[in-house]
Amino acid sequence: MGSDQLDGMRTLLEAPAPAVLTTYRRDGSALVSPVWFRWHDGVFEVVIAEGDVKLRQLARDPRCALVVFESVRPFRGVEIRGVAELVVCDVGPVRAEIAGRYLGRADGARFAAERAAKPGVLLRLAATNPRSWDLSAILPD
């Protein structure tokens, strides 16, 4: 299953859905962190602030997992595991777009502007072999 097979999950991936990112500590244990994301051109993207422990972990071990899910019916979700691509760039526009999905356009722009002095790194995770679920078929009416 590739990113084209996530088309049935488009409403989930375009919504301000909860998501968690898993990275790995030096001892191999998992660090699971809530994150905001966007689904862009078949890739999941997350902005991580410079200095965040997740960046150090990903620089050492680029394996990670991202789980996006609904907390309301039909309780759909997607899990992506893979190797993160870390892109050093101006994350301002991406940060504003992602924040806008969760906070609304105006508050998202304000959120990004308040963090403009805090650089970030763009984590990109390709949707190779995603695992998805949709519980609508097994839920009571």
Q: Please check whether residue 137 lies inside any domain of the structure.
A: no
Q: Omega of the bond prior to 16 within 30 degrees of 0, cis?
A: no
- Distance between CA atoms of residues 42 and 7, nearest Å: 10
Q: Please check whether residue 140 lies inside any domain of the structure.
A: no
pTM above 0.85, yes or no: yes
User: In whole numbers, what is the pLDDT of the chain averaged over residues?
Assistant: 93
Q: Please check whether residue 119 lies inside any domain of the structure.
A: yes
State residue 4's pLDDT score: 65
CB atoms within 10 A of CB 69: 15
Q: Cβ contacts of residue 64 below 8 Å, gap of 6+?
A: 21, 22, 23, 24, 58, 81, 82, 83, 84, 123, 125
- What mean pLDDT comes out for the span 37-44? 94
Q: Please check whether residue 117 lies inside any domain of the structure.
A: yes
The C-alpha angle 96, 30, 51, rounded to 5 degrees, equals 45
Q: Please check whether residue 123 lies inside any domain of the structure.
A: yes
Q: Please check whether residue 86 lies inside any domain of the structure.
A: yes
Structural domain containing residue 103: 3-131
For residue 56, the domain's CATH number is 2.30.110.10
- What mean pLDDT comes out for the span 56-85? 95
pLDDT band at 1 (very low <50, low <70, confident <90, very high): very low
Q: What is the pLDDT of residues 116-135, one digit of tens each?
A: 888 999 999 999 889 998 88
Q: Report percent pLDDT > 70 for the chain.
A: 96
Q: Please check whether residue 114 lies inside any domain of the structure.
A: yes
Q: What is the pLDDT of residues 19-36, one digit of tens each?
A: 999 999 999 999 999 999
Which of the 8 DSSP states describes residue 14?
A: T
Number of domains in the chain: 1
Q: Please check whether residue 139 lies inside any domain of the structure.
A: no
